[in-house]
Amino acid sequence: MQSRSAPSSNTEAVTKRLRHLIMTGDISPGDRLTEVGLAKLLDVSRTPVRLALARLEQEDLVQGEPHRGFRVRRFTIEEMREIIEVRATLEGMSARLAAERGGFQQYEDEMMQCIAIVDGLIAKGDGGESSRNVFIEVNVRFHAAIASMAGNSVLTRRLEQSPFRASPLFHAFTDEEAVEGFATSQFDHKRIVEAIRNGEGTRAEFAMREHALVPLGKAELIFRNLHRLSQKTFPGLGESHTESGDDES
């Protein structure tokens, strides 16, 4: 069991972990989430889980159900399109600020490491589940580095809380389509890096918005994929994990 000496940081860690599991589809739309099940899954007490679920409800990622805990929210295709459009605007702003405020050298190693990892995936030509998971993690790192470079804490929080930031589309691809997706995304990332490195704010914003809007044309595929994912069972989160008792102090 994790230490409870720093409840604030523990809650933050649990919130980030749950947010990641939801955004990557590891916890599926419609899954019922209980404090007991999640506490066992994450090896923590119920207190940080309870606080994390309250935060995620404010972010519209989960919905509370009276006497039944929470469920992962199901989005309509119209909501998905709207979220993608708003996210593209925020990502574009992030890239522009990163370019205009400088500081590329501070984040250059992280960004070029991300580029190198994806180049390796493309060279292998392997679009299997393991490679997709690596790409998704690296993609999050890449965009997070740009958000940090932008230096706007409000913008960073909005981006962290935005659904679909972890490329759920890749779970719907065939292996061949996934490799093609890696290459397309990598091409965009290299354009964005070049614009930021050169301090070209407008160019960086345009390139990032164009990149972030790619899922808009495939919203129906993402929508079908998320509902396909909702048919699977995630260990520790089944209907049998009901609420019971108060948390230990």
Q: pLDDT 10s per residue in the chain (249 long)?
A: 444 445 567 888 898 888 878 876 678 788 899 999 999 999 999 999 999 998 888 777 888 888 778 998 887 778 878 888 999 999 999 999 999 999 999 999 999 999 999 999 999 999 998 898 899 889 989 999 999 999 999 999 888 877 666 565 676 678 888 899 999 999 999 999 999 999 999 999 999 999 998 877 766 666 666 555 544 444 444 443 333 334 443
Q: What angle do CA 235, 158, 178 make, to 5 degrees?
A: 55
Fold agreement (7-74, 77-228):
no
Q: Is the Cβ–Cβ distance between 44 and 10 less than 8 Å?
A: yes
Q: Please give the Cα distance from 78 to 55 (Å, whole number).
A: 24
pLDDT at 246: 40
Q: Is the Cβ–Cβ distance between 19 and 223 less than 8 Å?
A: no
pLDDT at 215: 79
Backbone angles phi, psi at 173, to 5 degrees: -80, 155
- Secondary structure element (H or E) that encloses residue 158, with its range: helix 153-161
CA-closest candidate to residue 2, choices 34, 43, 39: 43
CA-closest candidate to residue 42, choices 14, 65, 82, 23: 14
**What tokens were used for 247?**
């948390």
CATH class (in words) of the domain with range 7-74: mainly alpha
pLDDT at 173: 75
| pTM of this structure | 0.71
CATH superfamily of 77-228: GntR ligand-binding domain-like (1.20.120.530)
CA-closest candidate to residue 197, choices 108, 122, 69: 108
pLDDT at 65: 83
pLDDT at 202: 98
